[in-house]
């Protein structure tokens, strides 16, 4: 029986088998990347269904239950204001993912546009753009983010701006290096010779061929953005109370309650570690899959 004669149920079965085969192959070849993907999926699940998972209001104070140790009533204990730590960890995943994805997507797409434009047009535009990028890349990410926050102020939206701006030149530099090689390819010269405009050449021939480094940078930025947001919130220059955020939870209990109530700093610190570790593992797997030099048979 030919494929065209197969019933819809049979085609659906074939597709399901192929999907399962792809998943099992990824688990075998990229076990660490699969672990990172599981962490990301769990974070997304917590963020989406936070209202269902969290047993208490993450912003509600209860002075009758201050610094209660982990128990059946409070799974991870409570903080110095009597707020349930488990509920704040769950809602903190929403804050971390919102900031992480917003910064990574805007920063990576901004870098993609600048990097491709700089490589394609070249000349004085490329020279000026690369000197500006050099200035931004001369500063570490956290220093640049702190400087921007000090200008714009604190708050979730300001944190996103502060983290996004340093991401743009870093992605632009990586994308530009790939776009420079693609610009000299014969099919780009052929497109010019038949009268294609600049925008059509960029969108059809150059941008699609730099997606591999772009996706690698995007996944790398996700973990970095979560870590930077936690760092800024810990320093008091990021997300502000009473918004549940992991770095903000550390700011309130890392030093003062490290010995008397160790569960206060341990759980948010562990959440940050697992989240960043998961995104880094997944980013390494994406790099191995997309980079032909790193592929294993």
CATH of the domain at 168: 1.10.3720.10
Secondary-structure breakdown of the chain: helix, strand, coil percentages, each rounded to the nearest 5: 75, 0, 25
Split at pLDDT 50, 70, 90, the class of 196 is confident
User: What pLDDT, on a 0 to 100 scale, did the predictor assign at position 21?
Assistant: 67
Does the predicted model carry a pTM greater than 0.95? Answer: no
Split at pLDDT 50, 70, 90, the class of 60 is confident
Among candidates 183, 35, 175, 171, which has minimal Cα distance to 105? 171
Residue 237 lies in a domain: yes
Residue 1 lies in a domain: no
User: What pLDDT, on a 0 to 100 scale, did the predictor assign at position 261?
Assistant: 85
User: What pLDDT, on a 0 to 100 scale, did the predictor assign at position 3?
Assistant: 47
Mean pLDDT of 133-144: 90
Percent residues over pLDDT 90 in the chain:
39
State the total domains in the chain: 1
Mean pLDDT of 270-281: 93
Residue 20 lies in a domain: yes
CA of 159: how far to CAs of 85, 107, 162, 249, in Å?
A: 23, 13, 5, 16
pLDDT in tens, 241-269: 888 889 888 886 667 787 888 898 899 99
Q: Helix (H, G, I), strand (E, B), or coil: what is residue 291?
A: coil
Residue 246 lies in a domain: yes
Res 195 pLDDT > 50: yes
How much is the mean pLDDT over the chain?
85
Q: Cβ neighbours of residue 271 under 8 Å, at least 6 residues apart?
A: 89, 92, 93, 246
For residues 205 and 120, give the distance between their C-alpha atoms in angstroms, rounded to a whole number: 11
**Structural domain boundaries, residue 191:** 8-294
Q: Give the CA count within 13 Å in the CB-facing half-sphere of 44.
A: 9
CA of 200: how far to CAs of 56, 197, 210, 213, 239, in Å?
A: 53, 5, 15, 21, 41
Residue 12 lies in a domain: yes
User: What pLDDT, on a 0 to 100 scale, did the predictor assign at position 225?
Assistant: 93
pLDDT in tens, 150-173: 888 888 889 999 999 999 999 999
Res 67 pLDDT > 70: yes
Residue 191 lies in a domain: yes
Res 52 pLDDT > 70: yes
Mean pLDDT of 108-121: 92
């Amino acid at each position: 029986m030919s494929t065209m004669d197969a019933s819809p149920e049979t085609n659906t079965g074939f597709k399901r088998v192929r999907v399962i085969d792809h998943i099992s192959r990824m688990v075998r070849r990229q076990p660490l990347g699969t672990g990172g993907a599981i962490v990301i999926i769990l974070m997304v699940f917590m963020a989406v269904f936070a209202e269902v998972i969290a047993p208490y209001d993450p912003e509600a104070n209860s002075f009758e239950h201050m610094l209660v140790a982990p128990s059946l009533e409070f799974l991870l204990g409570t903080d110095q204001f009597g707020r349930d730590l488990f509920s704040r960890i769950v809602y903190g995943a929403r804050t971390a993912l919102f900031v992480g994805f917003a910064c990574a997507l805007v920063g990576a797409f901004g870098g993609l546009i600048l990097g491709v434009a700089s490589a394609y047009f070249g000349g004085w535009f490329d020279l000026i753009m690369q000197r500006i990028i050099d200035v931004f890349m001369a500063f570490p990410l956290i220093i640049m983010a702190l400087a921007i926050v000090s200008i714009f102020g604190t708050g979730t939206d300001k944190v996103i701006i502060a983290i996004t701006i340093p991401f743009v030149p870093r992605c632009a530099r990586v994308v530009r290096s790939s776009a420079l090689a693609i610009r000299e390819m014969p099919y780009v010269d052929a497109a010019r010779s038949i009268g294609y405009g600049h925008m059509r050449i960029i969108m059809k021939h150059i941008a699609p061929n730099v997606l591999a480094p772009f996706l690698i940078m995007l996944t790398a930025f996700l973990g970095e953005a979560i870590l930077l947001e936690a760092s800024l919130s810990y320093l008091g220059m990021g997300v502000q109370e009473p918004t549940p955020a992991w770095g903000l939870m550390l700011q309130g209990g890392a030093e003062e309650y490290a010995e008397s109530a160790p569960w206060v700093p341990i759980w948010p610190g562990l959440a940050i570690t697992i989240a960043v570790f998961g995104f880094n593992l997944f980013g390494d797997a994406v790099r191995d899959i997309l980079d032909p030099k790193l592929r294993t048979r």
